[in-house]
Amino acid sequence: MSRPEGPGWRRVSLHKPPYNALTPEFCLQLAGQLEAAAEDPSIGAILLDSAGKNFCVGADLKWAASQGAGSLSRLVRAMHQVCELLLTVPKPVVCVVNGAAAGGGMSIALCADFRLAGERASFRLAYPQVGVSLDGGSSFRLPQLIGMNQTQSLLCEDRILGATEALQLGLVNQLLTSELLPARTSQLLEQLAGGPTRAFGESKHLLNPPEWVRQRLQMEAEAIDRTAATPESLNAIERFLGRKADPLEKGLS
């Protein structure tokens, strides 16, 4: 899943076709690759990208429904390991989004230091669609990036943002054509990898102190536990999965 791609930087890629949907095992694999890059002294920057047409559609709800009680809680906590690493790893992280980023997938992208978007990129919080609260650091990353007013509007309206609107709002740093995206990505990574890694790391910790990040992620996970157990959420997930029977009696909390 991860391999060196250039002098001083490493690629970690979400590769779980067709949607790169999240399961605990998949998240733990990603976390392991991020930890390896963080601990490698020859690596000064990290690329997070994806394989296929989607960046990441968030939680694999079919998996969660099949696993019964506690599954969504386990998944969120595994995903939060990925988010915590992205936010606190003492090296710059560049995320390339050139497809759909929804729910936890959008949250993961927000945890990077830089977001480069291709023309096919789209973003949707999607949490209201299944009746659960924010997770993946989005409760604080969104206000940091676009302000509280825009965050609340985006959450309550739950609209899909195209790449251009995401750029205008400040969710992404740069929007590029498919032809220019690879070259710009490599250029930025080489620039960051050749920069003052220690200073970048210390600055990241000042902007998002690790203890504070950990506390906020725990608060989000506990809120997911509460909201995912409600009939409102269970019914919403059932509708999302297109089920006509079997109302997830054991729940997903």
Alpha carbon 248 to chain centroid distance?
Answer: 26
DSSP calls for 167-205: HHHTS-SEE--TTTHHHHHHHHHHHHHTS-HHHHHHHHH
Where does the pLDDT of residue 5 fall: very low under 50, low under 70, confident under 90, or very high at 90 and above? low
Nearest to 176 by CA among 112, 115, 243, 242: 115
For residue 42, the 8-state DSSP code is: T
Q: Examine the pLDDT at 199 and tell me if it is beyond 50.
A: yes
Question: How crowded is residue 18: how many other Cβ atoms within 10 Å of its Cβ?
Answer: 10
Please report, for residues 115, 125, 145, 155, 242, the alpha-carbon distance to residue 148 in angstroms, rounded to integers and kept in the order given.
Answer: 20, 15, 9, 10, 33
Amino acid 172 reads V
pLDDT at 1 > cutoff 60: no
How much of the chain, in percent, has pLDDT values that exceed 90? 86
- The reported pLDDT for the residue numbered 69 is 77
At residue 166, the pLDDT reads 98
Percent of the chain at pLDDT exceeding 70: 94
Domains of the chain in start order, with CATH, are 2-177+194-241 (3.90.226.10)
Mean pLDDT of 43-53: 96
Question: Is pLDDT above 60 for 79?
Answer: yes
Read off the pLDDT of each residue in 108-131 and give the average, rounded to a whole number.
Answer: 97
Task: Strands of the chain (E only): list them.
Answer: 2-6, 9-14, 45-50, 93-97, 100-102, 114-117, 122-124, 161-162, 174-175
Instruction: Give pLDDT tens digits for 102-118.
Output: 999 999 999 999 999 99
Q: What angle do CA 154, 16, 87 make, to 5 degrees?
A: 50
**172 within 8 A of 97, measured Cβ to Cβ:** yes
Instruction: Give which of 183, 249, 217 is closest to 86, Cα–Cα.
Output: 217
Q: List pLDDT tens digits, range 140-175.
A: 999 999 999 999 999 999 999 999 999 999 999 999
Determine the Cα–Cα distance for residues 90 and 214; give it in Å rounded to an integer: 15
CA 223-172-96 angle, to 5 degrees, is 90
Task: Band the pLDDT of 248: cuts 50, 70, 90.
Answer: very low
Does residue 91 have a pLDDT over 90? yes
> Would the pLDDT of 249 be above 80?
no
